Structure 1
Amino acid sequence: MKNTPFKIFILDDDVWYSELLEYHLSLNPDYELKKFHSASDFFAALHERPDIVTVDYSLPDKNGGQVLSIVKERSPDTQVIIISGQEDVATAVSLLKQGAYDYIVKDDDTPERLWNTINKIRENISLRKEITQLREEIGQKYDFSKVIIGNSPAIKKVFALMDKAAKTNITVSISGETGTGKELVAKAIHYNSIRKKLPYVAVNVAAIPKELIESELFGHEKGAFTGATARRIGKFEEANKGTIFLDEIGELDISLQAKLLRVLQEKEITRVGGNAVVPVDARIIVATHKDLAEEVKKGRFREDLYYRLLGLPVQLPPLRERGSDILVLARHFMDAFAKENGMSRKSLSEAAQQKLLSYSFPGNVRELRALVELAMVLADEDIIQESDISFSATSSEKDLLSKEQTLKTYTTRIIQYFLDKYDYNVLLVADKLDIGKSTIYRMIQSNELIIK
């Protein structure tokens, strides 16, 4: 930013005074200065889009207000500073309302005040440019081909659906096994849509206790329940004008499904303990590892909500169905790990490649990443051998009995392992281990278990 010339135009019919301002501002070598003594010459050069213009209010051919209007019309991002020989409060207020950045009266302090004002404007412009650059970087980060790595026909189909989703506001329902990248797809759709500069709010429905989910989604008023010491807005209000991503929507309690349906239909929420209706406009993206159609048949998911959420379905294929994408992803993760850790790049031996291609990857892309990162550490040379790839290190067959520990410690380790494996889906883990979900929630609240 410091090396970029900062363009300033000086418009003043007083040749001596314009040279005074030019000399003062030229003390900063980053400023590119041009002087104009008539409005017509000034307008002829306005296509150059200066960052700032200083305008003498009393010109022979135009007054400062007229110049200001034309600048704002032809070059809206250019900031205008009016410099006047008269201290006229009414005129100053009027010009500021029209969009002038400042109104400076000509006196001995004018050059110094102008210097300070330009510095403030430059800081603001630099900040806006940094924000714009960050937004562009976010857009590049969530470029479809960078989010989901691969060239298989199954993934190309996903890319095509993501592109269609990003061009509209249609509700998107993402399904796929744990570890296939459902939230990455949701983020990519948001950051490539017209809402990309607005909030993206993610909610893992399965990780929130049943008694708290309504407040989490819709907010609550002060005194709505014990512990509600202040009003709190919910995730739908946070996501207003942007996108809300409801992960593991299949775990939403049946009693709350009707309330969610009403929010989607009416585009308004009512906070817990309140009566005021709050309009919300959030694009909806949901994800689940379950077959929602089957859940509807079993009476665990409302049919009307199912059809409301279905929208554009995006089915993420499991890694075992993506063929050579396994190797493409493995190399991507290996290169990224090497760069992050200052290591030399490594390659896969033919035997190591065949070992990866023959594995079923129950943990999908997340498991592959953990596996190849471990192989990068274990490999003694620049080529990863078959022996460096250990599936047991990323499977459920870890030797829990290798150390003598208490039953409580073993229980905590087992539950934590399955929470990590199933994306912190409390209800699914409770079902897999045949334990009460309240037991898991209690252990989370006491910090015995960690939700990442």
Structure 2
Amino acid sequence: MKRKILLVDDEANVRKALSTSLQKAGYDTKEAASGAEALERLDEYQPEVMLLDLRMPKLDGMETLRRLKQRRGHMPNVVMMTAYGSANDVMEAMRLGAFDYVQKPFDLAQVKQVVAKALKQPEAEDDAGSMRPSPEERADVPGLLIGLSPAMQEVYKLVGKVSMSRATVLIQGESGTGKELIAKAIHANSPRADKPLISVNCGAIPEKLLESELFGYERGAFTGAVGRKQGLFEVADGGTLFLDEVGELTLPLQVKLLRVLQERTLVRLGGVESIPVDVRIIAATNRDLRERMQKELFREDLYYRLNVVPIKMPPLRERKEDIPLLIRHFLAKFSRETGKEGCYLSPAAVELLHAYDWPGNVRQLENTIERAVVLASGPAILPEHVQVHMEESSQTIESPSEKQGIRYDDRPMKDIIQEVEKEAITRALHREKGNRLRTAKRLGISRSALLYKMEMYGIDVSEE
């Protein structure tokens, strides 16, 4: 018997292409031109998988998914489709129980792979009675996360799936990749959204002070303890505790943290009473915890307690397609903050930013755009406004490798910038098929300046 797939999209050509491809692959398909039609056909057809478009008139895909989750009876595995997805769309769809999320224009082979995976999973269960907050009840997080690269799409899917559980999450990634933003997104999309989210940087507080901050203390526990104080675990009760740089915890503190995770109780410093706490833990680190385990600097049992759901944040150099989105976001933000509305980057500055590898990741890019907006005398941001900050930030940014005494590059920064500029000019020449005039316009410089740079860098790209 053929497996049944329901295709829901308001565009007939999209439904036809999907139907033809899936039928050739041996599936039985039915089509629906709207969310309302899909809901009507559900019990009659009983598909195992539904491909559901997000943007449709009247009843859109997200509202259709919500109604599916509220109904009783048959529930297929839902794969959302859209050409206009955002981070919030992906997380909301996964939070509502979608199996997966694909972006248009998609490769039909990719769709067939996702359908095959969905068919291997049991059909979604009706969980209308579960404790899921409505969109009005949960915190809204517009614009919190920027980027729609495949790597970030996978992160958003994980955030959406894990938000509704109480599972401990370990977010790993280099400095500046946005680990705290992910923690905030998980909390904001969870049933704990109306409770506190408490953040603590484990590497920025001395051990003794951190212990009292986390677990609290009783009066007289130490010199200066003139009264009882609740720790952050108690303050975050019912909510979420974000432990940033958890790899910096000392071994004695790791033991105490493990006990809280296992027993869900704590004892204040100087106290004897076991205090129950209901706290969801999200931890983050830019360290390799497995390497620290081998050096006996991190407990193996704590690692597995924290690493229930791992989320890996990609460095910016591995998702360069997100750089234009990030630039626009930061440019708009700092233009408003400085009162310099209408700021824009010249094509040459954009090329320079795109060619750079960003060892400090999104945080470094944000700082670069902020300083460029401040330094620019007019609305146009030129390469020299960007280069100044790249030179300084590359020397001051502290990466995991630099903490271990390893530099990303030992060359003078001037040489690095010249190499980046040479690469940007060469790339622009190839895009314009060697045409000098069009290349100069693309880079925002004069033709004579382009020719000078080409001679200086020894660039020889023939005109096609």
Instruction: Using structure 2 for the length normalisation, give the TM-score.
Output: 0.55
Amino acid aligned to 2:153? K
Correspondence 1:316 to 2:313: yes
Matches within 5 A, 1:394-413: 395=392
Which of 327, 334, 339 in structure 1 is aligned with 2:336? Answer: 339
Report the counterpart of residue 30 of structure 1 in structure 2. Answer: none
SS of residue paired to 1:304? helix
Once the two structures are superposed, residues 96-152 of structure 1 have per-residue CA deviations (whole angstroms, 9 ceiling, x without a partner) of xxxxxxxxxxxxxxxxxxxxxxxxxxxxxxxxxxxxxxx969822x24xx2220111
Decide whether aligned partners of structure 1 residues 337 and 396 sit closer, same or farther in structure 2, where only a CA change above 3 A counts: closer
Alpha-carbon distance in 2 for matches of 1:394, 1:178: 18
Tell me, yes or no, if the aligned pair for 2:372 and 2:389 is still in contact at 8 Å: no
Correspondence 1:374 to 2:368: no
- Structure 1 spans left out of the alignment, 5+ residues: 1-134, 399-416, 434-452
Decide whether aligned partners of structure 1 residues 430 and 223 sit closer, same or farther in structure 2, where only a CA change above 3 A counts: farther
Decide whether aligned partners of structure 1 residues 384 and 287 sit closer, same or farther in structure 2, where only a CA change above 3 A counts: same
Decide whether aligned partners of structure 1 residues 355 and 137 sit closer, same or farther in structure 2, where only a CA change above 3 A counts: farther
Deviation at 1:391, TM superposition (A): 4.8
Which of 344, 350, 355 in structure 2 is aligned with 1:353? Answer: 350
Report the counterpart of residue 246 of structure 2 in structure 1. Answer: 249
Percent identity over the alignment is: 49
Alpha-carbon distance in 1 for matches of 2:169, 2:370: 32
Deviation at 1:199, TM superposition (A): 1.1
Deviation at 1:290, TM superposition (A): 0.6
Matches within 5 A, 1:134-153: 139-140=139-140, 142-143=141-142, 146-153=143-150
SS of residue paired to 1:281? coil
Report the counterpart of residue 58 of structure 2 in structure 1. Answer: none
Report the counterpart of residue 217 of structure 1 in structure 2. Answer: 214
Bigger-Rg structure (1/2): 1
Which of 272, 276, 279 in structure 1 is aligned with 2:276? Answer: 279
Alpha-carbon distance in 2 for matches of 1:376, 1:369: 11
Matches within 5 A, 1:147-186: 147-186=144-183
Deviation at 1:395, TM superposition (A): 3.3
Correspondence 1:307 to 2:340: no
Alpha-carbon distance in 1 for matches of 2:382, 2:321: 18
SS of residue paired to 2:203? helix
Deviation at 1:346, TM superposition (A): 2.1
Amino acid aligned to 2:205? I
Report the counterpart of residue 201 of structure 1 in structure 2. Answer: 198
Report the counterpart of residue 383 of structure 1 in structure 2. Answer: 380
Decide whether aligned partners of structure 1 residues 349 and 393 sit closer, same or farther in structure 2, where only a CA change above 3 A counts: closer
Decide whether aligned partners of structure 1 residues 360 and 138 sit closer, same or farther in structure 2, where only a CA change above 3 A counts: farther
Alpha-carbon distance in 2 for matches of 1:180, 1:170: 22
Decide whether aligned partners of structure 1 residues 248 and 327 sit closer, same or farther in structure 2, where only a CA change above 3 A counts: same
Alpha-carbon distance in 2 for matches of 1:275, 1:344: 59
Amino acid aligned to 2:139? G
Deviation at 1:385, TM superposition (A): 1.9
Alpha-carbon distance in 1 for matches of 2:205, 2:284: 16
Report the counterpart of residue 7 of structure 1 in structure 2. Answer: none
SS of residue paired to 1:161? helix
Report the counterpart of residue 16 of structure 1 in structure 2. Answer: none
Once the two structures are superposed, residues 342-395 of structure 1 have per-residue CA deviations (whole angstroms, 9 ceiling, x without a partner) of 222222222111100111111111111111122122334433222221255563
Correspondence 1:258 to 2:255: yes
Tell me, yes or no, if the aligned pair for 1:370 and 1:394 is still in contact at 8 Å: no
Alpha-carbon distance in 2 for matches of 1:153, 1:350: 25
Tell me, yes or no, if the aligned pair for 2:167 and 2:309 is still in contact at 8 Å: yes
Number of equivalences: 272
Alpha-carbon distance in 1 for matches of 2:166, 2:250: 26
Tell me, yes or no, if the aligned pair for 2:368 and 2:389 is still in contact at 8 Å: no
Which of 200, 224, 227 in structure 2 is aligned with 1:227? Answer: 224
Tell me, yes or no, if the aligned pair for 1:367 and 1:394 is still in contact at 8 Å: no
Alpha-carbon distance in 2 for matches of 1:333, 1:218: 38
Once the two structures are superposed, residues 291-312 of structure 1 have per-residue CA deviations (whole angstroms, 9 ceiling, x without a partner) of 1112112211110000000011
Decide whether aligned partners of structure 1 residues 205 and 397 sit closer, same or farther in structure 2, where only a CA change above 3 A counts: closer
Instruction: Using structure 1 for the length normalisation, give the TM-score.
Output: 0.57
Correspondence 1:189 to 2:186: yes
Report the counterpart of residue 132 of structure 1 in structure 2. Answer: none
SS of residue paired to 1:390? helix
Alpha-carbon distance in 2 for matches of 1:333, 1:394: 19
* Deviates most, 210-219 or 384-393: 384-393
- RMSD in angstroms over aligned alpha carbons? 2.4
- Structure 2 spans left out of the alignment, 5+ residues: 1-134, 407-464
Tell me, yes or no, if the aligned pair for 1:334 and 1:345 is still in contact at 8 Å: no
Decide whether aligned partners of structure 1 residues 183 and 138 sit closer, same or farther in structure 2, where only a CA change above 3 A counts: farther
Report the counterpart of residue 415 of structure 2 in structure 1. Answer: none
Alpha-carbon distance in 2 for matches of 1:138, 1:352: 40
Amino acid aligned to 1:344? E
Amino acid aligned to 1:139? A
SS of residue paired to 1:139? coil
Alpha-carbon distance in 2 for matches of 1:381, 1:139: 38
Once the two structures are superposed, residues 424-444 of structure 1 have per-residue CA deviations (whole angstroms, 9 ceiling, x without a partner) of x9xx998659xxxxxxxxxxx
Decide whether aligned partners of structure 1 residues 216 and 261 sit closer, same or farther in structure 2, where only a CA change above 3 A counts: same
Report the counterpart of residue 4 of structure 1 in structure 2. Answer: none
